[in-house]
Chains A and B, each alone.
Chain A
């Protein structure tokens, strides 16, 4: 992909809150979906003739079905608390990328047609007519939001711009103005089973290759099973884990952990995708359709547990929505939460002392951890609030000697999005992806300079792909991104493993935690 047409922001010690500069990103819109991408998802193929009426009736429908939308449209007092919180605003200076600026694109129309004040005194309350240009503006700016929810942390009423941008995208879909990237992918899941369109035989082939690699590497026959009926655990993981770097190293790690834990597990070719882009387009129906594949796979394979691999928004859909969308899961073993995150599984095994590690295997790196937005702000791991922030760090520290966190205002619940989430991980949106990565890149660069950090560990397929692509724009290396289970994989000592330096009988330096 050409780097042309925009300037990568410079990195400074701090991310300065810029002065607003109107319209800097007005030119950027993602590719529009082809008719068949829309019709595959039961949306009109092209912009409908009566878009005006249909837009308003859809908005009316959504505000009656989603309390969040109704309350958030009403409650904003324009206090400005969110204005300097969005990575896309910080990276672009465009005021329509301030959370409230983005919300107002829809709120102005809501006020004009659904509130007394807006009907009678539109200028006074900043209400605007719905025009054809409004739709283009929505299409542009609601696809410059990664739905990361950072704004909702700081809003005194918890207004979540993600809810607004999901609603806006659903309205656009309902009038035939869908985004190519998301809609094409959702259709692919429906037809083939995963975002990447990898058919079953290709998956089997890949997994076989992994088994060979791991055996060559360790001398231990670790299995990467597919469609095995009667296995205990169904692993659902983002399809990027099957071949992309560094994702696949994470998948290798999951397999090693399962192997050492002595559990039987399987992947499913039917539900070979953890990601659920139905969330990005705000479509309950599509999100449910994708989720039901996981339910069906679990039933067909007769598993007892469902575990999810490293993926941010997938974990949100899995943790927060799956039970609602595709439950009840009363056919699974009630002793375990449904679903579980691989991080919960691994941390549990570590605490039980079932896994042995040689932490020095990761000594060539000093790690920091990127909290994925959806994991940090929309889910949990373990029993206690905040487990989603602690447990991944616990796992990293159990397998690595060198770890340092980035600045405290850029991690945990305040984490900055990688810049590529929410259906933006497409080349036609490269400019916003690069500019939106500015706050994260700044924090990373600082911790590299101050703490000697060399690598960034992530637990999200989108984050990993985005960083791989964006790091070079900021003068860093694409292979500085690693999967957390890649670190686990490096350090884990499999029972019966041959190691280069040590004799087989040697006790490892580092033992279980």
Chain B
């Protein structure tokens, strides 16, 4: 079983990384032929960095829009962020001090994550407008993430798993050494679901993660009168017509 998981994780990691890199290259290479920043917009590059920072860290636009979605969405993402930081300890030896320090907060993060996701699920179910726009996959993503969160929390609060073994397994993968995984149900669940998440990430709406950094309405400097903004294809058209 451990070899099965070893192969799965290597494949999932490759798919995740290459899938995302492929999309990022696609976004970066596709020209944005016109200035379409949603104004009022920053007039300097540093202003844009600040705008994206507020957007990514605080979900500024969502805050303007609807407070419930913002609260649940933000709690979930913040929780997930803390959880990811906490999990770094399974992938490094020795463990960095900041990762050491974040450990207890990671637990709260895990709980917050599940609470936020439950809120988002309820909203998807009970607000008729959101229900209308939801495809089955939209519910399934929430279920997947909730199950990942719950199975993870189970290992902390219900049935402990030998995390030292888990860590040895993942560190071992770096040197192509396949160690043993503890044969605990919550762990197997947890790992399987994470693999599914990693495999589907680059082919799903989770592309909002790289997407926001490439969103022209958010990442453009508002300076069209000062600078021409000619895309390569537009330039070619110009040369052909002139």
A residues contacting B by CB (< 8 A) are 17, 19-20, 63-68, 70-72, 74-85, 95, 98, 100-101, 104, 115-117, 121, 123-126, 149, 152-160, 163, 284-285, 288, 319-321, 323-324, 327-328, 337-339, 376-380, 383-386, 388-389, 413-414
Contacts and interface: CB of A to CB of B under 8 A. Distances in A.
Interface string B209-242: 0011011111000101111111101100110000
Given A80-B123, A126-B135, A75 B30 contact: no
A155 B230 CA distance: 27
B134 A81 contact: no
Given A285-B237, A388-B39, A380 B129 contact: no
A99 B141 CA distance: 22
A101 B128 CA distance: 13
Contacts of B31: 65-67
B168 to A, nearest CB: 35
B214 A82 contact: no
Contact of B225 (A125, A337, A377): A337
A72 B205 CA distance: 10
Contacts of A115: 203
B59 interface: yes
Contact of B129 (A65, A84, A320): A84
A79 B136 contact: no
A76 B217 contact: no
B4 interface: no
B69 interface: yes
A98 B237 CA distance: 35
17 contacts: A65-B31, A68-B217, A70-B26, A75-B215, A80-B130, A80-B133, A83-B133, A104-B133, A126-B137, A149-B217, A154-B62, A158-B218, A288-B237, A321-B35, A324-B33, A378-B36, A380-B40
Interface residues of B, number: 67
Q: Which 7 A-B pairs have the closest CB atoms?
A: A126-B135, A75-B211, A154-B65, A158-B217, A80-B130, A385-B40, A81-B65
Contacts of B49: none
A135 B211 CA distance: 28
B129 to A, nearest CB: 4
Nearest to B127: A80
B38 A158 contact: yes
Nearest to B218: A158
Given A158-B216, A324-B234, 4 more contacts: A68-B36, A80-B69, A376-B39, A380-B39
Contacts of A64: 30
B3 interface: no
Contacts of A72: 215
B217 to A, nearest CB: 4
B92 to A, nearest CB: 31
A317 to B, nearest CB: 9
Contact of A377 (B39, B62, B130, B218): B39
Contacts of B204: 117, 125
Contact of B136 (A67, A123, A376): A123
A20 B30 contact: no
B124 to A, nearest CB: 8
Contacts of A101: 132-133
Contact of B135 (A81, A98, A124, A149): A124
A385 B132 contact: no
B123 A67 contact: no
A66 B33 contact: yes
Contacts of B66: 80-81, 84, 154
B133 A67 contact: no
Nearest to B217: A158
